[in-house]
Structure 1
């Protein structure tokens, strides 16, 4: 069995490191957001405003991510028996929805500009975008180590990553306008940024929705888990098998197993719990046993 206290300490350590990195990324992004909004209006660039819109969602993502870490560390209580870990998932889902809304706004504004082109000051547009590129690269480096361990940090990382691509697009658009005078390049870049971001946003929304629907976590196949449990000595049948997660790294499982003649319930439960932990990294399992032709009668074992 895992040492629960040690696991909790490790999680707190990881959350603290993520909070520090998120705080630095938030400070950088917030300062640049103000500069980009001012630059977008001053230089009349929809591409800059599109990038600023995504930068605004970056700021929202980072603020919510920090709040999610703070709430996620609160212990379980009589009303929230699983604690507050799911706040992280809600935060990531909100960020994805916000990005979709911004993309729709940029698309509508771009269509208007195609029919009514407006002059753009390309030099200022390029300078602001270049500064944004540097900010995004620094923020990405800060968030890179935590993105695979937390949906929350991954959501923030994806938005910063998308903004980096956006900054490159704005720079390219500014160069094109500077040498050709084609102001319609500006709304095209704005739309391109939105289309580049949306597939990644959809993936994040899909994954967070799966968690909210208590779906089987990515990387785990229910049939393989069922077959593995059925292969444990003393088990003749498995039913009412449920696997879900409260967040991306906190997987839970419940199962009812039917025992063969003469099988010892406590011994079978211990074997099943150990199997789930070692083979599938399911750290929280409740296994209930029943004799042949009987309803569940033995108590469940919770791990850890």
Structure 2
């Protein structure tokens, strides 16, 4: 009786940590459309309002669109070994033992590139923020800046809810989730900067918030890069 009970619980445990590849593709595709579409509008408003924080956020979202596309492609490529085989018997012999290896390889590399992309974005934002702090602009259109950042926060909040499911057990999905989370934090920073500019005329707040956002992005990106490197090193050691 005890052995039968253990057998019953084991499949349940595996199912809890398994993410449906088709559902993951849908999650990533929806997030990609939302972020990619809004990044263009955010860039236009950032340029017209002369807000570095908003321009940086637009660049961040554009880079995140590339990262999400990369994650989506990795998810699709990870399933190709199973779909490309013509024979069911050949699938049983070849695809079953080899299936986990392509998934780990493609998705871990995508997560690593996502993390490195975040690091690059953070460094760029930090550099531009330091330049802006040294020479603040004469004027910043705070109202368009505030409204655009508010809409961006709503878009990213929807994506956070979408991508959070399964991100604890999937490194590739976690990389995409961290991108979107960093976007949301950036939007909050832009909102605070816009309020400071409008009410206190602190034009330097635009650069200060941008520098803070760069630090937040780095905090989220570095662990992802380290974990991806460790996983790739572990897989290389097994081979």
State how far apart, in whole Å, the 1-side matches of 2:41 and 2:219 are: 28
The answer to whether structure 1 residue 67 and structure 2 residue 73 are counterparts is yes
Runs of 4+ in 1 over 2 A off after TM superposition: 81-85
Q: How does 1:130-209 map to 2 (within 5 A)?
A: 130-209=150-229
Aligned-partner Cα distance in 1 for 2:235–2:202: 49
In structure 1, distance between residues paired with 2:107 and 2:199: 46
Preserved CA contact (<8 Å) 1:57 1:95: no
The 1-side partners of 2:79 and 2:55 are apart by 36
Aligned pair partner of 1:25 in 3, 28, 31 = 31
- Say if 2:63 is the partner of 1:57: yes
Q: 1:114 to 1:83 in 2, by over 3 A?
A: closer
User: Which residue in the other structure is 1:104 paired with?
Assistant: 123
Q: Which runs of 5+ in 1 are unaligned?
A: 2-6, 217-241, 247-304
Mapped contact 1:71–1:87 kept (Cα < 8 A):
yes
Instruction: Identify the structure with the greater helix proportion.
Output: 2
TM-score of the pair, normalised by structure 2:
0.81
Q: RMSD value over aligned CA atoms?
A: 2.7
Q: Does 1:42 align with 2:54?
A: no
Is the 1:51–1:193 contact (alpha carbons within 8 Å) kept by the matching residues of 2? no
Q: Does 36-45 or 102-111 show the bigger shift?
A: 102-111
**Residue in structure 2 matched with residue 121 of structure 1 by the alignment:** 141
Equivalent-residue separation in structure 1 for 2:71 and 2:198 (angstroms): 39
**Shift of the alpha carbon at 1:84?**
4.8
| Shift of residue 62, structure 1, vs aligned partner | 1.0
What's the counterpart of residue 94 of structure 1?
A: 113
1:50–1:193 CA contact under 8 A, matched in 2: no
Give the structure with the larger strand fraction. Answer: 1
Alpha-carbon offset, residue 208 of structure 1: 0.3
Q: Look up the SS of the partner of 2:23 in the other structure.
A: helix
Q: 1:90: Cα distance to partner?
A: 0.7
SS in 1 for 2:60: helix
Q: In structure 2, what is the Cα distance between the partners aligned to 1:140 and 1:180?
A: 32
Q: Is the 8 A contact 2:119 2:217 kept in 1?
A: no
Cα deviation for residue 108 of structure 1 reads: 1.6
Q: Structure 2 CA distance, aligned partners of 1:84 and 1:58?
A: 22
Tell which structure's C-alpha radius of gyration is larger: 1
Contact 1:48/1:170, CA 8 A, preserved across alignment: yes
Higher relative contact order (CA 8 A, sep 6+): 2
Preserved CA contact (<8 Å) 2:54 2:149: yes
Q: Is the 8 A contact 1:19 1:69 kept in 2?
A: yes
TM-score, normalised to structure 1, is 0.65
Separation in 2, partners of 1:39, 1:99: 23
